[in-house]
Structure 1
Amino acid sequence: MTSLENIYLANRKLLKRTMLNAGFISNIDEWWHYEYGTKSWANKVGVKQYFRGILEI
């Protein structure tokens, strides 16, 4: 692996650790895809409430 590839991998690991620590869930098929508040998220973390539709912040 090249040094640049090592940097890419380290950054991906940092992103994953940060997102999971913030309460997001990851998509196993897409390393860049994280979810929070969706039905899939609710099922995985074991809660009954989740956001439906568009959420305006």
Structure 2
Amino acid sequence: MQALLPARCSSAEARLRFYASQFSLVEVDSSYYAMPAPPSCGPNARRPASP
């Protein structure tokens, strides 16, 4: 069975960057108890950078 992710993708950010390098769209299935504050959304909107 072939691994879906390379061994170097050990953190959540590394996995997200890998997925973004392979696919044009990445959906993040994330639950919030309330809408996140705008300062919390900024870093997520800027990640990951296109390769």
Higher relative contact order, chain-length normalized (CA < 8 Å, sep 6+) = 2
* Largest Rg, 1 or 2: 1
Q: Fold conserved (TM > 0.5)?
A: no
Greater strand fraction, Structure 1 or Structure 2: 1
In the superposition, the TM-score normalised over structure 2's length comes to 0.31
